[in-house]
Amino acid sequence: MVRYSKENKVLKVNIFYELFKELCLKFPPMELSALHSLKPRLSKEFGVYIFLDPAIPSQYGVPGRIIRIGSHELHERVKPSKPITMFDRLKCHFGAKSGGGTCDNSVFRRHVRNCLISISEHTNDLDIYVSEYVRRLMFTYVSIPLVNYNDRKTIEEGLIGLLSHADGYQLNPIAAEWLGYKSINKLVSKSQLFNVDHTQPNALPDDVFFEKLGHYINQM
C-alpha cells in the first residue's frame, strides 16, 4: 500500500479513471432499469459493480459521478452449487418488477430509503421511490472469476477507499443537492458514496492493485 497524502491520492485517482475509461469501453454503463435484458450475460458473471449517477457530472470524462461500489457474497460464504451472480446481486438493488421491493437484502436500497425518509411526504410508498431512484442510475462492473474471491474483496475495498471523500480531500465533490447528504449515516455524506465500510482507509492502493484491476478489465 502507498502512504496516504493528497498528492498520492490525486495520482492514484487519475490512474483509476484511466482504467475506468477502458472498463466503460468493455461494458458501457447502462441504466439499472435495463437489468433484466442483461440477465443472460450477468447470470454468468461475478465481480465488483460500480454505480454512476448520470445526473451528476464527473470531472474525469466519464458518464456520471460514481456513487456506489459493491460486490456479492464471497465464495466461502455461499453454497458452491448455487453461487450468487452479478445478476442476482443487482436484482436485489433493482427491487420487484412491480416497482416496489424491500431493503432486506440490499444495503444500497436501505441507504437510499433512509435518505428519502427525511424529504418525502409519501412514507407509505417509499420503496417505489427507492426503485425509481436506483433504476435511473447507470452501472458497469469488473468481471472477476468466482474462485478469485480474495481479489474481488481487495478490489472492492480498495476502490471504495480510493474514491471516498471522508478524508476531506475534495477531488471530485458532489453538489449540495445530492441525495446522499440527507443520510442519517454521516459516513455516507462524508464519503460522498452510498458506502460506509472501507470509506476511511489508512493507505492508498499500490501498483500491484492497479495491475490486478487492469488485468481483469483487459480480460473482459
What DSSP letter does each residue of 122-161 carry, written as one string?
A: -GGGHHHHHHHHHHTSEEEEEE--TT-HHHHHHHHHHHHH
pLDDT on residue 76:
46
170 to 9, 13, 131, 186: CA distances (angstroms):
11, 12, 29, 16
Q: Which residues contact 188 (CB under 8 A, 6 or more apart)?
A: 111, 115, 180, 194, 195, 196
Q: Measured between alpha carbons, how far is 105 from 122 in angstroms, rounded to an integer? A: 22
Residue 65: which H helix or E strand, with range? strand 65-70
Q: Which residues contact 157 (CB under 8 A, 6 or more apart)?
A: 197, 198, 201
Encode the chain (220 residues) as per-residue pLDDT tens digits: 688 999 999 999 999 999 999 999 999 999 999 999 999 999 999 999 999 999 999 999 999 999 999 998 654 454 556 788 999 999 999 988 765 555 567 999 999 999 998 887 666 778 888 999 999 999 999 999 998 999 999 999 999 999 999 999 988 889 888 999 999 999 999 999 999 999 999 999 999 999 999 999 999 9
CA-derived radius of gyration, the chain: 17
pLDDT on residue 175:
85
pLDDT on residue 104:
63
Q: Indicate the SS3 state at residue 167.
A: coil
Torsion from C-alpha of 169, 174, 177, 180, nearest 10 degrees: -80
pLDDT on residue 96:
82
Alpha-carbon 44 to chain mean position = 19
21 to 24, 29, 52, 58: CA distances (angstroms):
5, 10, 13, 12
Q: Are 141 and 86 in contact (CB under 8 A)?
A: yes
Instruction: Quote the cell numbers at residue 119.
Output: 424529504
